[in-house]
Structure 1
């Protein structure tokens, strides 16, 4: 997804264009149905600057109820862009474009493009082709698609 961040985030000492960020995050849900962020990646596609965080969840998956565990399996499988976009928009009070609605192919298809994206050190993120849980890699694939096909 692409976020256009509001005025409160625009003064950046590094000159990052806060209006045009690619954002991806990995999350699970708790028993109350709220997103719990596990990983976030932001990429300024004009300056090719990136920021990446991995966050330790406040609880172990084993403490979740059956419903939350089932929902987390679904989240990991289907990578729902619209729900992520709504969450980011509400969190940052900014305009967010869900790239799925702009015609962006699935991450599985994007990985078939001839481009290499960086991967983080997280143990379960180092599986080369079939793991789509690395936000760091995902923002690079999304940026590549956006710039290659000149999406406006």
Structure 2
């Protein structure tokens, strides 16, 4: 039975592998923390196994964890965080305009929004000079509806 005893360094390696595996299962929602903490446990556990010194293993794990929390975590968060900004086309949603070329449910027409002409489609018939509002965008075609007066 003595051959199946698990030491503390081996527990560190197993826990680290489980954390890395759980990051793969959960995905990036944890912000890459589980992979890095798991890696810290694996590295310090392997150092404890090879050095046969639990105290050095704990010191290494503590130093790496503090370094990660103090320095690495913010840098990694900055790299994986995406900032969404409205692009020019997104700003068109909700904007008003005027029909330049008539639109039917079967045929796209043209509308002028913010001094630019855009291809547009609608679920209703819209005639030239009708006021419209942009409800959405599909590819390069604006989805519009007649502006109620």
TM-score (norm 1): 0.21
Higher helix share: 2
- Of the two, which has the highest radius of gyration? 2
Q: What TM-score do the two structures reach when normalised by structure 2?
A: 0.22
Which has the bigger relative contact order, CA under 8 A and spacing at least 6?
1
